[in-house]
Amino acid sequence: MAKIKGDILVNVERCKGCEVCIAACPSSTIAMSKEVNGKGYHFAMKVNNDCTGCMNCAIVCPDGVITVYRGKISE
């Protein structure tokens, strides 16, 4: 049976680690990295596969660093 799932891709080098996306994510899919990017910011990253592709994180991201995918996967 096919199921609708989502995924996100974070532009790690452009993320400034503001954490606004974390508060906006209904599936607790995003957390901050322990590492830092080239600018010295911790960056948003995916920590589970519960993403529904709702786009909330991307919509509130001030730097527009999140690309959102949504599609069917077969189980």
Partner 1 sequence: MEEPFVKTEIRKDENIVYKRTDLLVDRPLSYCPGCGHGVVHRLLMETLEEMDIQDKTIGVSPVGCSVLAYDFMNIDMLGAAHGRAPALATAIKRLWPDRFVFTYQGDGDLAAIGTAETIHACNRGENFTIIFINNGIYGMTGGQMAPTTLPGMRSSTSPYGRDVQTMGHPLKITELISNLPGVHYVTRQAVHTPSHVRKTKKAIRKALEQQKESKGIAFIEVVSNCNSGWKMTPVQSNKWMEENMFPFYPLGDIKVDGKLVEKKEVTEKA
- CB 40 → partner 1: shortest distance, Å? 11
Do residues 10 and 61 touch, judged by C-beta distance below 8 A? no
Helices (H) and strands (E) in the chain, counts: 2, 4
**Residues of span 13-72 touching partner 1 by CB under 8 A:** 13-14, 16-20, 22-24, 33, 35, 37-38, 41, 45-49, 53, 55-56, 58-71
DSSP code of residue 12 = T
Which strand (E) or helix (H) includes residue 67?
Answer: strand 66-74
Contacts to partner 1 by CB under 8 A: 5-7, 9-10, 12-14, 16-20, 22-24, 33, 35, 37-38, 41, 45-49, 53, 55-56, 58-71, 73
